[in-house]
Amino acid sequence: MREKGLTKFMYEVLVTYGPIATFTFPGLGRFVTINNPESIEYVMKTNFDNYIKTPGSRIRLLDLLGDGIFNVNGQMWKFQRKLASHLFYGKNFREIICVVFEEETKKFLKIMEEKANSGEIFDLQELFYRFTLDSFGKITFGLDFDCLTNLKNPVRFAAEFDLAQSITNKRITNPFLWRFNEMFTDEGRKMREACEYLTNFAYSIIKKRRNDPECSKNPKDILNLFMNAEYENGVKLNDKELRDIILNLIIAGRDTTAQELAWMMYNLMENPGVERKLVNEVNSLLSEDNPIPKYDDIKKFEYTQATFYETLRLHPAVPINIKLCLKDDRLPNGTPIYAGELVNWSSWAIGRDERIWDKAKIFNPERFLNSDDGLKPSQYKFTSFNCGPRLCLGQNFATIEAMTLATSLLRIYKFERMTDQKSPPDFAISLTLPMKDPLLVKVHRRN
């Protein structure tokens, strides 16, 4: 079953049978869906250790993600998460992260000026990918992918990464025959070539770092943190382990924020009233003398943050989560789950559930401003950043990155979506939730 079909199938199960339901896929066994906050909190927090990433899923993701943070359980996951958390300290935000966001935003604004002058039609989602890859490369590895300064040149790393993600996701929806298919098909050959390129790329970064003692002394670089880290026995990470960490961090730092920016801009173009309110807020806080928000200013953009969260509610970066139950268990409502069965929930479906969200299908940022939870919604209701011990480390990172670029852009420019595109856009087969087709727009200067 294709991921698009699985995502929408999960929504149909929710609508037809309610938040707690069971179904069986031939060869995969019994699934228990838990699309309600109480059950999600139980699985992802209360009895967290009893639910792990499935071994089958881990094998299918191994070529791309290896033993990185998104593909491991237990101590290895805890070790990587603890180290990665150092990137997101407040001091790092102020001195490194927001400085890079500002630099890359200036480049993006310059590109918009050129496109406004030319009147050309372009793919806005592709530009967001370039923005986030440049930003994340500089922040975590001190590496400039040069995406925004060479728009005419395809970014091979990004192309190979996207190809590998797409094929990896097909494995998940074809769990029994993917090995055989890839052994004899052109798609399998492309997957092997893509993974080889990505691996060699990561190894080249590591080799360069190992050969540059001065560079390796920078304590604020996330790659250095991992290169200098030691296991309890005093052994440091080898190149293969570092390769896995690099590729896992890039999928987190590049893909999800770029996709959410694209979905956010689409929703603003479809909801001019929301756009008007957001631009009014931006104009009240930014000016010609202060065109890009500083770290201390970001929290003032409450309506912009609510708009970003509303985008995530309807277009979560990871639409489906699946866990394996280790020991017989019982949900808070009494539903039994037996060892070896699969538990799943869909953030995409939950975001459209009228039992959880009032007028769920309407794009309405005010729901976050006017609710009791405000801009700190329950992570078991608003699961777009995952939840419990696996709550996304980069939540603030992604929010600040998106808001920095969006506020700076929308103060000056207005986007016009080409009318011959499907609305709403389809999402593509991927580990995350990109738009299937380019987001084709023209950009105009505001009056």
Amino acid occupying residue 205: I
Tokens of 103: 């630099």
Closest C-alpha to 295, from 94, 102, 138:
94
State the average pLDDT over residues 268-279: 98
Asked if residue 310 has pLDDT above 70, the reply is yes
Quote the radius of gyration of the chain (alpha carbons, Å): 22
Asked if residue 264 has pLDDT above 80, the reply is yes
What pLDDT, on a 0 to 100 scale, did the predictor assign at position 192? 95
Reported confidence tier of residue 425, pLDDT bands at 50, 70, 90? very high
Spatial distance between the Cα atoms of 363 and 411, rounded to a whole number of angstroms: 21
State the average pLDDT over residues 96-119: 95
Non-local CB neighbours of 160 within 8 Å, separated by 6+ positions: 193, 194, 197, 198
Domain residue ranges in the chain: 3-445
Name the pairing type of β-strands 336-337 and 20-25.
Answer: unpaired
Asked if residue 393 has pLDDT above 50, the reply is yes
State the average pLDDT over residues 124-147: 90
**HSE-up of 127 (CA within 13 Å, CB side)?**
24
Average pLDDT of the chain, as a whole number: 90
Spatial distance between the Cα atoms of 263 and 268, rounded to a whole number of angstroms: 9
Spatial distance between the Cα atoms of 189 and 193, rounded to a whole number of angstroms: 6
User: Is 1.10.3470.10 the CATH number for 3-445?
Assistant: no
Q: How far apart are the first and last CA of the chain?
A: 48
What pLDDT, on a 0 to 100 scale, did the predictor assign at position 1? 47
Beta carbons within 10 angstroms of residue 105's beta carbon: 23
| Residue-wise pLDDT tens digits, 355-366 | 999 999 999 999
Say whether 98 counts as a known binding-site residue: no
Spatial distance between the Cα atoms of 344 and 334, rounded to a whole number of angstroms: 17
CA quadruple 201, 203, 205, 211: dihedral sign: negative
Beta carbons within 10 angstroms of residue 62's beta carbon: 15
- Do 176 and 27 form a contact (C-beta atoms < 8 A)? yes
Asked if residue 4 has pLDDT above 50, the reply is no
State the average pLDDT over residues 221-228: 80
pLDDT over 90, % of the chain? 61
Least confident of 3-7, 249-253, 379-383, 415-419: 3-7
State the average pLDDT over residues 204-212: 87
- Do 249 and 140 form a contact (C-beta atoms < 8 A)? yes
Highest mean pLDDT among 22-31, 97-106, 150-159, 208-217: 97-106
Non-local CB neighbours of 406 within 8 Å, separated by 6+ positions: 261, 264, 265, 304, 308
Asked if residue 107 has pLDDT above 50, the reply is yes
State the average pLDDT over residues 269-282: 98
| Residue-wise pLDDT tens digits, 12-39 | 999 999 999 998 877 778 999 999 999 9
**Phi, psi for residue 421 in degrees, rounded to 5:** -95, 150
| Residue-wise pLDDT tens digits, 374-388 | 788 999 999 999 999
What pLDDT, on a 0 to 100 scale, did the predictor assign at position 217? 65
Asked if residue 92 has pLDDT above 80, the reply is no
